A = this chain, B = another copy of it.
Amino acid sequence: MLSEPALIAFRTALGTDRVFTDLAICTLYAQDETPRHVEPDAVLFPSSHDDVAALARIAFEHHIALTPRGAGSGNVGGALPAPGSVVVSFECMKRVLEFDPDNRLIVVESGVVTEEIDRIARSAGLFYPPDPGSSAYCRIGGNLAMNAAGPRAVKYGVTRDFVLGLRAVTGSGHEIRTGCRTTKGVTGYDLTRLLVGSEGTLALITEATLKLLPVPETIATLRVSYASNRDALDAVSRIMRQSVIPCALEFMDHRAIDAIRPTGAADDLPSGTRALLMVEADGAKEDVPRQIAILQKTLAGQGLLDIKSGFTHDDIKLLWTARKSLSQAVKRIAPLKLNEDVVVPISQLADFVDFIDEIAHEHQLAVVSFGHAGNGNLHINLMVHPEDRDEMARAHTALDAIMRRVLELGGTLSGEHGIGTEKRRFVAQEIDSDTMAVMRSIKQQFDPHQLLNPGKLFPD
């Protein structure tokens, strides 16, 4: 339990209306998108960088663990409160501190919703490329903590690639400023990228200077049906071997298509469709048709059943129906989704998806795979019933085998969701002990009392 002196200190520093200990509020902040619940001892709502610095100093003095939280939309327990910790919600830190279109940058507080950044950028002919699926409600602070990405990463890169600099508070309450305001800068160590993806375990990020790009004039979309997963993934390999880089290259396997059939969203796919690619190109109005023509030619090959193209907003929206219906559709299969966000080299994708099929069959599990194939990044969803202990045990055995295979193929445990609480047990299979020791020793420098987001990222 939070001690009375600590509670008074938090209230004095932030104001009584920004410190909550009642169960109703603590229950609201007890979970993220994972199925676990852990009530925090309190929830704090800082409204500025200075508030965060103050609360971090109090936490340091009183040895209170802090669980930073954006929108709580993460998939791996990154914002799941550690037992006895205090949640630091960044929801009230949503000021845009500076928008400088001439230098293609924006400075925002951590609680700004990701889509809002893109919206502001577009008002001046710019855009913010990283586009996680949750961008309508997730907060940029969470994106920074997890190094979030999305479909556009195949062309534009991930969150890390769009951060110029950060303002943050360490676990001992010290302010640090990293990076710069320009697209080049090599003064000192790259603490910016050390903090991005560190899952809130090194510092509480309060402000970020983000790079923006000129918005492409137009976009066009291809929905491409194949007779098998392998046919579709061979086409992905061909796409990534030529020079037109699509701004989305999304894959759905045959189980994903089966999942959407009951919703009607697969009705206009050719019969025999066992895999689907969504391929997009963006750029100048005169140039996008050229890109699309080359992509169509490259996509043609073994097992191609159909290519539908869309050049208008309405047509594009229609083409995405199948893909967009998937999230709801999989919920019908089973109440709980174990969403594994793995990456394998593109040349291994087809073998890997075959392996997933074998595993699903062997362990009698409903598995739906889709994802950002252009980065080799697949979301493998094991659909399970949490009350079915036998199924859960089989799912965990399958997950172990999947992670092992990912690493055997030269892949990585997570492409964009992070490690959080959910993948900690696999980390030591990917990161050797000497490298892990270096990471732990860095953690110790930023957070000597081990107060920042305990129980995340590192194995026990």
Contact = CB atoms under 8 A, between A and B. Distances in A.
B435 A178 contact: yes
Contacts of A244: 284
A412 to B, nearest CB: 4
Interface stretch (A14-22, A41-49, A209-217, A331-339): A209-217
B375 A184 contact: yes
Contacts of A23: none
A101 to B, nearest CB: 7
Given A180-B412, A438-B170, A146 B102 contact: no
Interface string A190-221: 11011011100010000000000111110000
A185 B215 contact: no
A4 interface: no
Interface string A435-456: 1111101111110000000000
A427 B188 contact: yes
Interface stretch (A153-161, A262-270, A300-308, A389-397): A153-161
Interface residues of A, number: 92
A111 interface: no
Contacts of A178: 435
Interface stretch (A86-94, A222-230, A235-243): A235-243
A375 B186 contact: no
A443 to B, nearest CB: 8
Main secondary structure of the interface of A (DSSP, over half): loop
Interface stretch (A58-66, A321-329, A344-352): A344-352
Contacts of A125: 241-243
A414 B160 CA distance: 20
B186 A147 contact: yes
Interface stretch (A32-40, A132-140, A415-423): A415-423
A294 to B, nearest CB: 8
A431 interface: yes
B240 A104 contact: yes
- Copies of this protein in the complex: 2
Interface string A238-254: 00111111000000000
A42 B417 CA distance: 48
A189 B375 contact: no
A259 interface: no
Interface in A132-180: 146-147, 149, 153-154, 157-158, 160-161, 170, 174-178, 180
B287 A189 contact: no
A187 B435 contact: no
A147 B190 CA distance: 10
A432 B170 CA distance: 14
Nearest to A215: B243
A429 to B, nearest CB: 10
A189 B198 contact: yes
A104 B238 CA distance: 12
A183 interface: yes
A343 interface: yes
A411 B430 CA distance: 38
A32 B112 CA distance: 46
Nearest to A372: B184
B438 A214 contact: no
A412 B182 contact: yes
A153 B184 contact: yes
A312 interface: no
Contacts of A196: 190
Given A100-B345, A185-B414, A286-B290, 9 more contacts: A125-B243, A170-B438, A175-B434, A176-B435, A180-B412, A182-B411, A184-B415, A190-B193, A213-B245
**5 smallest beta-carbon distances between A and B, as pairs:** A184-B415, A214-B243, A193-B193, A185-B412, A441-B445
Interface of A: 100-104, 125, 146-147, 149, 153-154, 157-158, 160-161, 170, 174-178, 180-191, 193-194, 196-198, 202, 213-217, 237, 240-245, 284, 286-287, 290, 343-347, 372, 375-377, 410-419, 423, 427, 430-432, 434-439, 441-446, 457
